[in-house]
Structure 1
């Protein structure tokens, strides 16, 4: 397994306060997309980060060795609709609560 911290970068620092109707629609699709990957176990956790210089989103992925992280994030409706992009950071390992319950 490979693990990544993925940072979703919106198009502007004040995005949360200035979203258009179309951007809001894309962000709702973005949330549903991430929730689907969470249900499948591809994402371990995700959520928005409040930052005084501009908010962003974070998701923690665990994917098979042969898979490409960009293939997942490029399918995000927000990315497809030009409402943001991702930065990917490889992690050496990822421990989470579900893992410790085994």
Structure 2
């Protein structure tokens, strides 16, 4: 297994407060995308982070050795639309309840 902390970086620091209706729809699809990965067991946890410097999202991935994190994150609707990107940080291990 491989483990990653993925930092979801929106297109601008005030994104959560200033998103357009189109961006709001993309964010709903982004949430559904991550929930689907959660249901598949590929994401362990995910959610928004209220950083005073600008909000961002966090997701913890636990994926198989034959899977590539870049392939998964590149399928995020916000990334596909060109509105966001991920900072991917490998983890040595991940212990989770459940």
Q: When the two structures are superposed, what TM-score results if normalisation uses the length of structure 2?
A: 0.98
Within 1, Cα distance between the matches of 2:82 and 2:28? Answer: 14
Q: Count the aligned residue pairs.
A: 98
Unpaired segments ≥5 residues, structure 1: none
4+ aligned runs moved over 6 Å, structure 1: none
Root-mean-square deviation (CA), in Å? Answer: 0.5
Unpaired segments ≥5 residues, structure 2: none
Give runs of aligned pairs for residues 1-102 of structure 1, distance below 5 A: 1-98=1-98
Q: When the two structures are superposed, what TM-score results if normalisation uses the length of structure 1?
A: 0.94
CA displacement, residues 15-50 of structure 1 (integer Å, 9 cap, x when unaligned): 001001110000000000000000010000000000
Which has the larger Rg? 1
CA displacement, residues 29-77 of structure 1 (integer Å, 9 cap, x when unaligned): 0000000000010000000000110000000001111211000000000
Within 2, Cα distance between the matches of 1:45 and 1:52? Answer: 22
Within 1, Cα distance between the matches of 2:49 and 2:88? Answer: 16
